[in-house]
Structure 1
């Protein structure tokens, strides 16, 4: 921070957690398909639960994997009261691509992309684009930031949603936003300063915090 700079006013902190891994041996696009998730990595959940603040407001998307991740964090020590549900925090809806393998999507559609299933502006048939996801997620982020000003908000959501939150905070072009890596059960902390100039009211404290040794140890145990 520059010398002499001051931060004043209430700070609202968003603690974003991506849902636990979804078993997907056939590597199929699931998007908003309501898949279950694997919450068996006890040590990882204990570790991540300790990072999360006490007394926070908790939100999850309407999808099972987000709700289950929040409930598992709570059962492993996180201080969660009521879990509130916001469908605007759900993953991108990939329309007709949902259920196809990623290989099929790449072979049948010219819109494959190195870091996302298609260019962020592209809307798959019957679905929505990443830009659509960003716009609906940002509506809820701004509304909830105002409603819970000065509070901690824990949100269990999805890789696309968390990238949308980062795009909002950094004022990023969608093409840049989809390049972030967001691992399962990782924590991303984004802060909003109420009395700052709206053009630079957001600060990203850290992104994609994940104790990889615990993930590697779990994978080795399952091998």
Structure 2
């Protein structure tokens, strides 16, 4: 049985004093936490195929972890697009768009913000990307420096979670989530989960 290993990393934090919503927006990340970067980098395999989303915070974090990497850019692993709410705080959204906000929060996994996409849609495109890239890079290590939403979506694929259940997963900045795909000769396969949201320098118990 062949194994393809995924190392999913959430990008470094983005300074956000106003609590703005950003998904498809492209703010700059703060990658100055050298201790977190070095501790995380020390756990990563070499050689590996590196991937990022098209967003700057993803690419900046990949460079901080491996300055010599030349990552593949995969648009399907980008963060959820919050459409007309990008750049606004939740309080401003509630004040300016009360009806749309109320509808969204009735089912935030299935409903999309105006001009945006739902988390369920993020799950669908992320699953397609993982299956495609697993087949393309079979039996290799794939390090994807991406986003909280797309990491939750990837874990949901491995764990067979609903969109609502997947939104309960915590995914911190600089955290590692490990997924393995086990392929079989008949073309079928299965996923296993090594860890979710492991932070640099902490053991499996979170200490």
Write the distance in 2 (CA, Å) between the matches of 1:20 and 1:145.
Answer: 25
Q: Which runs of 5+ in 1 are unaligned?
A: 1-8, 214-223
- TM-score of the superposition, structure 1-length normalised? 0.83
2:192 aligned residue: 203
Q: How does 1:39-78 map to 2 (within 5 A)?
A: 39-75=31-67
Matches within 5 A, 1:20-31: 20-31=12-23
For the 8 Å contact 2:15–2:30, the answer to whether it is kept is: yes
Q: How many Å separate the matches in 1 of 2:111 and 2:201? A: 33
Q: Is 2:124 the counterpart of 1:124?
A: no
**SS of the residue 1:110 aligns to:** helix
Q: What RMSD, in angstroms, separates the aligned Cα atoms of the two structures?
A: 2.0
1:10-159 mapped onto 2 (5 Å cutoff): 10-75=2-67, 81-107=69-95, 108=98, 109-111=101-103, 113=105, 119-159=108-148
Aligned to 1:51, what secondary structure does the other structure show?
Answer: coil
Aligned to 1:180: 169
Which consecutive segments of 4 or more residues in structure 1 shift more than 3 A? 196-200
Whole-angstrom CA distance in 2 between matches of 1:169 and 1:106? 34
Unaligned runs of 5+ in 2: 203-207
Deviation of 1:119 (Å): 1.3
Asked if the contact 2:110–2:118 (Cα under 8 Å) also holds between the matched residues in 1, the reply is yes
Distance of 2:159 and 2:33 partners within structure 1: 32
Question: How far is the alpha carbon of 1:100 from its aligned partner?
Answer: 1.2
Deviation at 1:131, TM superposition (A): 0.8
Aligned-residue offset at 1:102 = 1.9
